[in-house]
Chains A and B, each alone.
Chain A
Amino acid sequence: MGDHSHGPAKGLSRWLFTTNHKDIGTMYLWFSFAMFILGGAFAMIIRAELFQPGMQLVEPGFFNQMTTLHGLVMVFGAIMPSFVGLANWMIPMMIGAPDMALPRMNNWSFWILPPGFLMLASTLFMEGGAPAFGWTFYAPLSTTYAAPSVTFFIFAIHALGISSIMGSINIIATVMNMRAPGMTYMKMPLFVWTWLITAFLLVAVMPVLAGAVTMMLMDIHFGTSFFSAAGGGDPVLFQHIFWFFGHPEVYIIILPAFGVVSQIIPAFSRKPLFGYASMVYATAAIAFLSFIVWAHHMYTVGMPVAGELFFMYATMLIAVPTGVKVFNWVTTMWQGALSFETPMLFSIGFLVLFTIGGFTGLMLSIAPADFQYHDTYFVVAHFHYVMVAGAVFSMTAAVYYWLPKWTGKMYNESMGKIHFWISFVGFNIAFFPQHFVGLAGMPRRIPDYALQFADFNMMSSIGAFIYGASQILFLYNVVATIVGGKTVSDEKVWDGAEGLEWTVATPAPYHTFEVPPKIDPAHAHS
C-alpha cells in the first residue's frame, strides 16, 4: 500500500480484486448489458408466443416463468445495475473525489450480483420450474402454490437486496463526504443529485422487500400465516408490503435516468439547465410522494373507499413535480443551439416517450378508471414507455455520451443515429398497440388471447423483434469503438458539455482527482 499512482493490475485478478470505481463501474455496465440480453431473450419468447393466438411454442406454465424472469431480470439485473455502474463511473469524477467512499465494499456490492443471478436463473432447471408468479410474486401463488425453486428465488432477492443496500450506502457516503472543497450541494450536477436521492430510496425500501420475502420464506417453510386468512393473516398484506417497496422502486429506476438527461440536454442545447434548483426540489418531492402512493397498484383489492381516495389523490400529485421536470427540460431546449448527436436523439426520444408513459400513468392513477385498465396490456404499455423508453433510452444516451470519455475513442455517429431511429420506430410499433389491446380488454400475463387482439399482437411482436435486433447495432458500435474507434483526446468531447468529468484527460486516467480540484466559486452548478 502506498501513495504512488498506479495503473490497473493485469489479468483476471484486476477485475476480481479491484477497488477502483472505474473498473467496478465497467463491470456493472457489462453485467447489466448481459442481463439486458437475457431479459430480452425472455421477452422475445413472450412475444413469439403471442405472435398469433393459440399455443405454439411454449406451455402456459413456462410462459409464466418467462414473464416472471423477464420482469425480474430486467428490473434487478439490467436497469438497476446499469445505473449503479454509471454512478460508479461518474459520481467520483463529477464531484471531484478520488474514488468511492468505501471501495472494497463497492467491489463486494458488484460481485454479489453475478452469482445471485446465476442462482435465480438456475431455478429454470429445477424441479417444477422457475418462479411463475410474476415479478410481483403475490402470495399465496408465490407461497403455498409455488414450485420448490421459490426458496432459491427468495434467497436470490435477499442477495440482490444486500448488494443494492451496500451499493447505495456507498453512494450516499461518497456524495455526502467526498465532494471536492467548494462543491456545495447546490453545485452538484443533477445526475449526482438524482442518485443521492435514489440511493436514499434504495436504503429505505430494499430492507422492506427483504422483509416481504422473509415472511414468504416463513410461510412456506415454518408454518407461519402472514399471508393466509385461515391463520388470521391476509394475502393482501403481502401486496401492501411489496408495493411499499415496489412503487419507490419504479422511481429508483427513473430518477437516475432523469439525472442523465439533465446532463445531456443542456450539453446539446448549449445552454445551462433551466431551473436547476426546482429540478432538485422536484426530484425530492417525487421521492417523498413515492412513499405514500403504493396502493395505486391495488385499487381492485377491495380497500376501504377512504384509502382508495387517499392513494388516488397522492398518486395524481406526482404529476406535478414530474411535470416541473418535463417543462424544465423543454425550456432548456428553448432558444438553445440544438444539435442532434446520438445522445441527444435518445434524450429527446426519452422526453417524448417518457411523457407519454407518464400520461398513461396519470390515467392509471384515477381509481375508477383503473378498474378497467388494471392488469391489462394498457398497464404493460404504460410501464414499458417509462421503463424502456424512459430508463433504457436514457441509459443508452448515457453510454453514447460518456463512451468517448471512458475509452478515448469516438463511436460511429451515423451508426448511432441509425440505432436510434430503428429503436424508436421498433419500440413504438411494439408498445403503442399494447394501449389498444389493453383498452379493448386483453389481460396481461396470458399466453394466449381472444381473436380480436390478434392483429395488434402481431404488430407488437414485430416491433419487439425490430427493437431487440437494433440492440445488435448498439453492441457492435460499442465494441467497435473500444477496439478500433477514432481516437479523441480533447478533454471536452462535446463542445456544450459542462462538469468536472470534462476537465480530466480523455480517456479518463485510471485514477482521477487524487488531489481535489479547485472549484470556481463563481461558477454555478453543472
Chain B
Amino acid sequence: MSAPAITMDVRLIGDQVAVVDIKGEVTAACEPVLMSAYEAAGGGKTSRLVLNFAGLEYMNSGGIGMLVTLLVRANRQRQELAAYGLSDHYREIFELTRLDEAITIYDNEESALNGATR
C-alpha cells in the first residue's frame, strides 16, 4: 500500500473535546495515521471527537470505510463523532453514504464546539 498523503493534527479543547485537523487525502491507506490521531486525541478519554475536513483534498470509498471503522471505535467508547469544514461535494458524499446519520455535520468549528458542549 502506498504511503498516505495526509497529515492529522490534534487539538485538545478542554478535557472532553478533541479536534482533528485533516489535511490531504483520505483513503484506506491513511488508517494508521487516523488511529494515531485518535490515540493522540485521548483515545476513549474525551466524550466527543470533532473532525475538521477543511483541508480535505481527496477522498475515495476506502476513506469512507475507514471513517466507519473510526465510528465503531468511538461508539465503543461512547464518544460522539462530529465533523465540519466539508465542502458541498464531500457533504453530499456523507449524505449519499448516510454517514451523516452517525457523524453530525456542522458548518464551522464554532458550531461544532458549541454542539460539543451543549
Do A and B pair up? The answer is: no
B residues with CB within 8 A of A: none
